[in-house]
Structure 1
Amino acid sequence: MLPKNKIKVIDFHTHLMSLAGAEQVFPEARQSMFFKHVVPLVEPIADLTEGLHDRLLRDLAMRYNNKLSRLIYSHCGELFLMEALRLFKRHGLERLVFNMDKLGIERSVIYSLEPLTKTQDILDQVKKYGDRFSVFASVHAEEKDKVGYLKPFLDSGTARGLKIHPMVGGYNAANLYEKARDIFALAEAYDVPLAMHTGDIPIQRITTSQVSCCGIPAIEALVHDFPNCKLVLNHLGWESWRAVIKLAEEHPNVYVETSWQHASIMRRAVKALGPERVIFGSDYPLFQQWQALREVRKAFKPNEFQLVAHDNAARLLKLPISEHQVVGV
């Protein structure tokens, strides 16, 4: 494990899930023979061997642009769905707080993923921890009054930003502009960050629903029409990192978040955008915070690390900025 940092860190990408929410996601996949007969046997073994396969699976995913890895990864949809749901169940709020204390992470941003986890459910869970968490609200694509659903969270100050996850939330490339336009407008009007998943995930290959991870062209029209919306693209595009960096180069309101990326790709982002628009995130519990911090440490010089690991996120969240420069992180 890593020692505590000499500066405090903000993790801009974490999740929590209620068990009730898990039952609502990819129901057709969960009725498969794999989930009915294989998962009950494999899941206990996965719990026991988590330390080993955790590193192997994440190493594979971080090399997603490798042709062999992409081929393997694209045929493992059910396995990865099982692993994602297992991690959500196993790594809850108390473990997240323990990890944060151990690693010197002062605050984590928790994204709601409607219907996987309701925004109010997350707010209720983290209430006792005060300012250790900032919650981003989300809304399903088929919600008729998206603004009406999200606005109370922003008016009350309980949500510090908004989140769109196309695959979980029912969005796709064809409907994204129509379904997400009001969310972009709301984030712009309230001057809060909007985080959005980018990159392919194998789960879409095991579902017959009309949702998918949206490509960068589908996002670009919204970025163009809402130039004052502070958009944070999660995973730095994953396998689409080149397109995400290009989009951010052309639009100064676009930020990139580092989860699931190699240090070498993070360096490319900093070279193109400067360190002020790159933000640290882990994607806990799918990616452990200590692993994500290790990769960020590889990528950045001490002054860059402070911006990426804390100050950039603090500015977006309207939190105090550290005035000291840090060496030897």
Structure 2
Amino acid sequence: MTSTERRRIFDAHAHLAPGEGAADRLLRVMDSCGIDRAVVVAGGVVDPDLLSRQIIEGGAVDRDADNEAVRGACDTSGGRLVPFFFANPHRGGADYRAEGRRFAGLKLAPSVHGVPLGDPRHAELAAIAQEFGHGVYLHCVARPGFGVADLVELARAFPAVTFVLGHAGVGDMDLYGIDLIKPVPTILFETSGGYSAVVRAALDRLGPERVLLGTEYPLQHPGVELAKYRALNLTDREWHLVAWENTRRLTGETSR
């Protein structure tokens, strides 16, 4: 591995905000932080205030993400932006099946659409992801049907699919979530929003092969997540896996 390869950064999770110029703004922020590439999903399906309430109290929206805008932005980014399809489970998989092959993976948001992870509609989406060879990114919340244990059950039902537990699990100190996913090697752990101590625990308990650096841009500035990793003083091998290689594998790439 060369020193250049060790320094490369592939953000495992960013959002493309709605509106004109969003991709250019994202690329400028990436440049300012030394980020080479990013997995991108649509933003703006629900506003942050409503999402905050739904995470705590429950609720649901039946809204489609602007996946076409994401696809278009990625097509003109010179390979720097990699699109994931943000599926609406209320469509029963029809939207993803029709367009999903044009994307590099699948994004689910149970707390946005209000559909529990054990619902057959999520099983249908996972089955399509398996057919497409896609990884599946999602986040869990502390409500029955939406937790990390429910993700574990879904992942066990689809052992050929790589799942990503986003945002360092539930809350900012989900050490329990790390332990829940540990026996299921097909579940990776993306660290945006978590404490640095939780990231260190994930590296130690899961191994660096199962940990991904993500930023959650634009809700989180990438510099915050990068500072967290600098404080951890990772080895060259850990950094290469977490910041580059694991996300490259998630997106189905063999070399870049």
Give yes or no for the alignment of 1:277 onto 2:210.
Answer: yes
Q: Write the distance in 1 (CA, Å) between the matches of 2:217 and 2:231.
A: 19
Displacement after TM superposition at 1:279 (Å):
0.5
Q: Which amino acid is 1:128 matched to?
A: T
Alpha-carbon contact 1:255-1:279 (below 8 Å) kept: yes
Q: Write the distance in 2 (CA, Å) between the matches of 1:125 and 1:171.
A: 29
Indicate which of 138, 143, 166 corresponds to 1:234: 166
| Structure exhibiting the larger radius of gyration computed from Cα positions | 1
Query: In the alignment, which residue of structure 2 is the partner of 1:99?
Result: 29
Alpha-carbon contact 1:236-1:261 (below 8 Å) kept: yes
Q: Which amino acid is 2:74 matched to?
A: V
Q: Write the distance in 1 (CA, Å) between the matches of 2:6 and 2:207.
A: 22
Alpha-carbon contact 1:177-1:221 (below 8 Å) kept: no
Q: Which amino acid is 2:112 matched to?
A: V
> What is the CA deviation profile of residues 123-169 of structure 1, one whole-angstrom value per residue up to 9, with x for unaligned ones?
1233321301111102222113x1x31123333xx310001011223
Alpha-carbon contact 1:112-1:118 (below 8 Å) kept: yes
Q: Write the distance in 2 (CA, Å) between the matches of 1:213 and 1:222.
A: 11
Indicate which of 124, 129, 133 corresponds to 1:187: 129
Q: Write the distance in 2 (CA, Å) between the matches of 1:313 and 1:124.
A: 21
Query: In the alignment, which residue of structure 1 is the partner of 2:236?
Result: 302
After superposition, the CA RMSD in angstroms is 2.6
Alpha-carbon contact 1:141-1:180 (below 8 Å) kept: yes
Displacement after TM superposition at 1:191 (Å):
1.8
The runs of 5 or more residues in structure 2 that have no matched partner are: 46-62
Q: For residue 16 of structure 2, give the secondary structure of its aligned residue in structure 1.
A: coil
Displacement after TM superposition at 1:112 (Å):
2.9
Aligned residues: 233
Q: Write the distance in 2 (CA, Å) between the matches of 1:279 and 1:316.
A: 10
Query: In the alignment, which residue of structure 2 is the partner of 1:43?
Result: none
Displacement after TM superposition at 1:5 (Å):
9.5
| Identity across matched positions, percent | 25
Q: Which amino acid is 1:108 matched to?
A: A
Alpha-carbon contact 2:88-2:95 (below 8 Å) kept: no
Indicate which of 252, 255, 279 corresponds to 2:188: 255
Alpha-carbon contact 1:198-1:213 (below 8 Å) kept: no
Residues 111 and 141 of structure 1: CA distance in aligned 2, closer, same or farther (over 3 Å): same
Q: Write the distance in 2 (CA, Å) between the matches of 1:172 and 1:222.
A: 11
Alpha-carbon contact 1:112-1:163 (below 8 Å) kept: no
Q: Write the distance in 2 (CA, Å) between the matches of 1:289 and 1:11.
A: 9
Q: For residue 134 of structure 1, give the secondary structure of its aligned residue in structure 2.
A: strand
Query: In the alignment, which residue of structure 1 is the partner of 2:14?
Result: 14
Query: In the alignment, which residue of structure 2 is the partner of 1:55?
Result: none
Q: Write the distance in 2 (CA, Å) between the matches of 1:259 and 1:17.
A: 17
Displacement after TM superposition at 1:319 (Å):
2.7
Alpha-carbon contact 1:187-1:193 (below 8 Å) kept: yes
Query: In the alignment, which residue of structure 2 is the partner of 1:170?
Result: 114
Q: Write the distance in 2 (CA, Å) between the matches of 1:303 and 1:254.
A: 20
Q: Write the distance in 2 (CA, Å) between the matches of 1:178 and 1:120.
A: 26
Q: Write the distance in 2 (CA, Å) between the matches of 1:137 and 1:172.
A: 19
Give yes or no for the alignment of 1:214 onto 2:156.
Answer: no
Query: In the alignment, which residue of structure 1 is the partner of 2:54?
Result: none
Give yes or no for the alignment of 1:108 onto 2:41.
Answer: no
TM-score (norm. length: structure 1): 0.65
Q: Write the distance in 1 (CA, Å) between the matches of 2:176 and 2:15.
A: 26
Query: In the alignment, which residue of structure 2 is the partner of 1:70?
Result: none
Q: For residue 266 of structure 1, give the secondary structure of its aligned residue in structure 2.
A: helix
Q: Which amino acid is 1:152 matched to?
A: A
Q: Which amino acid is 1:231 matched to?
A: F
Q: Which amino acid is 2:120 matched to?
A: E
TM-score (norm. length: structure 2): 0.82
Structure with more of its chain in helix, by fraction = 1
Displacement after TM superposition at 1:184 (Å):
1.1
Alpha-carbon contact 1:123-1:135 (below 8 Å) kept: yes
Indicate which of 67, 82, 99 corresponds to 1:119: 67
Displacement after TM superposition at 1:6 (Å):
5.9
> What is the CA deviation profile of residues 157-198 of structure 1, one whole-angstrom value per residue up to 9, with x for unaligned ones?
x3100010112233236xx43220011112222221100112
